[in-house]
A = this chain, B = another copy of it.
Amino acid sequence: MAPQTPLTGVEVAKHNSAKDCWVIVHGRAYDVTEFLPEHPGGMKIILKYAGKDATEAFDPIHPPDTLEKYLDKSKHLGPVDMTTVLAEATEEDPEERERLQRIHEMPLLEQCYNLMDFEAVARRVMKKGAWGYYSSAADDEITMRENHSAFQRIWFRPKILVDVEKVDFSTTMLGTKVDAPFYVTATALGKLGHVEGEVVLTRAAGKHNVVQMIPTLASCAFDDIVDAAGPGQVQWLQLYVNKDRGITRRIVEHAERRGCKGLFITVDAPQLGRREKDMRSKFTDPGSHVQSTGEGGEAAVDNSQGAARAISSFIDPALSWKDIPWFQSITKMPIVLKGVQRVEDVLKAVEAGVQGVVLSNHGGRQLEFSRSGIEILAETMPVLRQMGLEDKIEVYVDGGVRRATDIVKALCLGAKGVGIGRPFLYAMSTYGLRGVDRAMQLLKDEMEMNMRLIGATTVDELNPSLVDARGLFNHGSTPADYLAQAVYDPLVNPGQRTGMGLGGAQKEKAKL
């Protein structure tokens, strides 16, 4: 291609409508007019940047090769002289100023003693939109919290007087020897939390010799994530299945070629969940009109569906059991179904000949009130054992894991390993690679201690007799329903009368 005279900001700015829409990304201009209706995230979000520099909004959501891959070369308009592009007049944002101050004062990494501590720091220092996307879940977020609290209904029955001088909590997952029984599960949009995105997790996983599952919806390009792995480092591929099976096939074959050792097909997300905290944090008010009393306002920009839904419209809701043989035909990677939620489907998975299942409710982000992975595990394993199938399939669990005790409980109940998602994102979003490194090290320290204290020297010795999980199925108390609590107007006792009149609850005169 011949060298180009750079475009100027003024020139690009002219193309600022749905009928003629240019945007700048990383210093290059693109004509997206024809692409607008096809944009998986909808036309509206692009139009917001019509004629402008869209880089900051583009980056966390799109792998760098996106434009290369999905926009015809003819629409690549070449470099822009960025000195001629008007910087958006950033209005003074007091919330952002406070956030920067909080970052300045954030605690030292050494003061984080457990995985919750990273989340506490993240809540203070992450951008609200990013925090909203990572931390939100379905409906009333009861399921997300149940995932964690379910573990707390399981108690230990430790053995004493076992020689635990040497304990070894390494294990094998899909044939890969790993140093600890957890893996980094797939989570979308890593660049929301850290400028480098998922490769930070790759490096930490490499250092600690645990597996990273690469997300379909990564902010980094797939190949960049693979390239960030060290020699011999094992990665898996998490797959959202595209309506266009050709695309899916290319993704799977490419991953296998690049050395991925497991294909985790997400089966709990035929449609991505609604996450109201995320939606609310992204609501934009037009601001300029007066609301008519009693009937609400006129109109408002509702871009509230949030990042996840924007990027997920390609997912195929028709995916079904009959597709499994096709996957088996296109790859030699072990296939694992991610998001299985009842024992009946685990049995179907065995029958379908897949190598594993992840018992999971997608971090509470999909169907509200689907049970926690650990509860499904406690339902599943006795059935598998009774049918002699416990060795026919590897069973993983994710959701709510924050302590090594959680991991030990899952292993006692029969899990091969546990996936951890948000905690590593929070560690990454606060202290970067050092944060994820420390988070993993804390888990390993806890693992070593807990193996000793429960009286087990290897993970093989972890068995159901070491836990009392009867309380797990007890759903008598549920995580707080904050919205319901907020709207309820509690009864009060009669208030005092003030002077001759009435005070407090009595002031109200009869109105009917």
Contacts and interface: CB of A to CB of B under 8 A. Distances in A.
A203 interface: no
Interface in A437-457: 445-446, 448-450, 452-454
B488 A145 contact: yes
Interface stretch (A9-17, A72-80, A134-142, A172-180): A134-142
A152 interface: yes
A493 to B, nearest CB: 3
A500 interface: yes
Contacts of A475: 153-155, 468, 470-471, 474
A345 interface: yes
17 contacts: A103-B294, A110-B297, A111-B280, A111-B494, A113-B274, A113-B494, A114-B483, A119-B487, A120-B483, A133-B512, A152-B478, A155-B475, A161-B323, A161-B345, A192-B512, A271-B448, A271-B449
A60 interface: yes
A249 interface: no
Interface string A473-512: 1111110111110111111111111111111011111111
Given A158-B341, A161-B321, A295 B432 contact: yes
Interface-central residue, A279, A295, A473, by most chain B CB under 10 Å: A295
A319 interface: yes
B285 A453 contact: no
Interface in A340-394: 340-342, 344-345, 348, 366-371
B111 A506 contact: yes
Contact of A160 (B288, B337, B434, B468): B337
A124 to B, nearest CB: 7
A28 interface: no
Contacts of A107: 494-497, 506
A371 B453 contact: no
The 6 closest A-B pairs by CB, nearest first: A471-B475, A129-B511, A120-B493, A109-B296, A107-B494, A367-B453
A149 interface: yes
A160 B282 contact: no
A160 B319 CA distance: 9
Contacts of A287: 500-502
Contacts of A22: none
B470 A288 contact: no
Consensus secondary structure, chain A interface: loop
A283 B450 contact: no
Contact of A476 (B157, B474, B484): B474
Interface string A277-313: 1011111110110110111110110111011000000
Nearest to A338: B160
Interface string A117-136: 10111011101111101010
Interface string A147-170: 011001111111111111100000
A339 interface: yes
A509 B452 CA distance: 31
Interface-central residue, A273, A317, A465, by most chain B CB under 10 Å: A317
A314 interface: no
A510 B477 contact: no
B157 A271 contact: no
A469 to B, nearest CB: 9
Contact of A491 (B454, B483, B499): B483
A318 interface: yes
B317 A163 contact: yes
A467 to B, nearest CB: 9
Given A104-B293, A163-B320, A450 B367 contact: yes
Given A110-B302, A511-B282, A270 B369 contact: no
A345 B273 CA distance: 40
Contacts of A158: 268, 341-342, 367, 370
Contacts of A481: 148-149, 152
A403 B139 contact: yes
Interface string A249-282: 0000000000000000001111101101101111
Given A158-B367, A405-B369, A453 B268 contact: yes
